[in-house]
Amino acid sequence: MKNFICVFVLALIFVKPVFSQSNQPSDSSLRNAFQLLVKQERQRLSDSLRMVELQREIEQLKRTKDTNTKELVQELKALKRADSARINGHIQEIESLRESNDGAPVVLNHDTLFTIYADIGPFSASDRAKRTEEELNKVVEDWQFSENLFSLDTNEASIHIYYRDFIIFSVTDEDALWAKAEMGALAQEYYQIIARSTAEHHKSHNIWAISLRILWALLVLGLLYGFIKLVNLGYSKVVLKLRKSHDKLANGLKIKNYQLLDASQAIRALAKVTSLFRYVVIIVGLYISLPAIFAIFPWTKGIADSLIEWTLTPIKDIFSSIISYIPDLLTVIVIVIFTHYILKGIKYLADEVKQEHLKIPGFYPDWAKPTFNIIRILLLAFAVVVIFPYLPGSDSLVFKGVSVFLGLLVSIGSGSAISNMVAGLVITYMRPFRVGDRIKTGEISGDVYEKNMLVTRIKTIKNEIITVPNSSILASHTVNYTQNTDEMGLLLHTTVSIGYDIPWEKVHQLLIAAAEKTDGIMEDRAPFVLQTKLDDFYIHYELNAYTDEPKKMAVTYSNLHQNILDSFNEADVEILSPHYRAMRDGNESTVPKGDKK
């Protein structure tokens, strides 16, 4: 760990800083526009001299009491109007050029002294800035530096800033136009900036200043080393205390009745969290100390500024985004609260309908819950649509692209699910069955165990839970054995085949007697028999009996068949069902011997 920190710090200290300049080369359109401005400025100076001459001539004519001054006064007024119009045009053209030209900054050790916008001959603004920086670096490295060695030299076209006998920078009329100042005043301002900045930087590059900075850097490194040692010592004590507190954490971590972590797992989890916190604190300490070290040395000050900017800029952006989002957040909160109370009111009405406290003609109580779910989905979807524009980043192309991609995935992969949901809605409002009903759909029969928007689960008489998609139920026919049981009863029916030699009255009597002896057959509704078919060798008799216990239908059928067999055997009547051929050549009857009288 120590070796890693030392290597990391030394690598950052001796990193060669990269100086970036936001130079924007001037294109031909900017240069042509600027040359036009220079010509106009020279014309303005010429007109100014002419106005001074005219004013002098007018004053002389007035002293000689000459009245022929009318033409001179008109010419003077025309020149003043032209000068005023020219000034306004200069201001507008310069402002338009300023919007498309960022200029070239003159930088000395990461400090921007001033910005150059104008070109001189073949030299662009960036070329002039680069040469000025080179000359300033030579000045700073001069061991016999003195502010008194700077000087100004004025000529017709420009003012030169000298150090000793070489030119540092030249201020021209073009620079004055961009700065909105007189050339002399601008040259004096640049002269003072250059002299003051080079003096400050020269002082920071002497041997004593560098030695002092090295001592400060060593002090910061020592404090960083001590801070890391202190954090590691605290971590060791915390881990030791956790190991000793095993008895206190004997119950581990529980959430209600759920054992999330036992004692050993809780101690290991706390140790890992403590270790993670230790690394976070050490990294924060490194990040704070590195800018401090880099800021000590002038040639690495830019790295320090960059590190601080990398940290502060996201933090400022986050806080500014949060503050600017507060109005939209309040709007979202109002929409959420409004939707919540609307749903709460609708749920109250749905519960009242479900409990039959509130009765709506034509609206069944079992429709209350699914109808509420549909209304809730629609309201929530509407609320999401209303809230969506107020979400942070909703206008970004990435957010929109992800939303479209997820919507496409859902639409492609949920075709069967949507069809089942639609079928579930149709089944809900068709009311073919309810939970607990004995039904038969396709080849599956049993009690409805669960019904939701996607599937219906059926519990068979073998205690099997079969899941059937709602679309399959909607596509096939469904038999409900329970729906009319309370009012009319369920009609059970079975068929036997009896020969022509047995009177039909006797067959009716035997079948009805068997039905009356069967448990589960309703006593208040008499069973009856129908002759359904006359076959070649026997007659088909259908016994019909009512039951009010459809869930015991299988047992009732079994008991009914047993009683039919017993009744016919006792009466010595053969049941020739489904196909039975008997040859009466003296062989015995098919009736069991024990049942014969």
Q: CB count, 10 Å around CB of 563?
A: 20
- pLDDT score of 446: 92
- pLDDT score of 593: 56
Per residue in 293-335, pLDDT (tens digit) is 887 776 676 677 777 778 778 888 888 888 888 999 999 999 9
Hey, what's the torsion of the CAs at 583, 573, 559, 504, to 10 degrees?
110
CA-based nearest residue to 561, from 593, 534, 501, 521: 521
- pLDDT score of 98: 65
- Give, for 106, the enclosing helix (H) or strand (E): strand 104-108
Q: Assess whether the previous peptide bond of 392 is cis (omega < 30° from 0).
A: no
- pLDDT score of 564: 93
- pLDDT score of 20: 35
The full length of the chain comes to: 597
Phi, psi of 349, rounded to the nearest 5 degrees: -65, -40
Under a CB-based contact definition with an 8 Å cutoff, are residues 458 and 446 in contact?
yes
**Residues of 493-522 as b/e, b for ≥16 C-beta within 10 angstroms?**
ebebbbbeebeeeebbebbbbbbeebebbb
Pairing of strands 478-480, 166-172: unpaired
Hey, what's the torsion of the CAs at 365, 370, 376, 381, to 10 degrees?
-150
CA distance 559 to 5: 89
CA-based nearest residue to 287, from 19, 16, 8, 20: 8
Matching residue, tokens 């009010």:
548
CA distance 578 to 566: 18
CA distance 90 to 88: 5
Q: CB count, 10 Å around CB of 547?
A: 22
463 φ/ψ sector (left φ>0, alpha ψ -120 to 50, else beta): left
Under a CB-based contact definition with an 8 Å cutoff, are residues 24 and 117 in contact?
no
- pLDDT score of 250: 60
Please give the mean pLDDT across all residues of the chain: 79
Burial class for 389, CB neighbours closer than 10 Å (0-12, 13-18, 19+): exposed
Number of H helices, E strands in the chain: 15, 15
CA distance 175 to 22: 19
CA distance 380 to 383: 5
Residues 6+ apart with CB under 8 A from 243: 267
- pLDDT score of 330: 93
CA-based nearest residue to 441, from 418, 467, 420, 464: 467
- Which residue positions in the chain have pLDDT lower than 70? 1-52, 54-55, 57-73, 76, 83-100, 156, 204-206, 209, 246-254, 256, 258-259, 298-299, 301-302, 413-414, 576-597
Per residue in 265-292, pLDDT (tens digit) is 777 888 888 899 999 999 888 888 888 8
Distances (CA, A) of 64 to 55, 57, 70, 77, 393: 15, 11, 15, 22, 80
Per residue in 67-102, pLDDT (tens digit) is 556 666 677 677 777 766 666 666 666 666 666 677
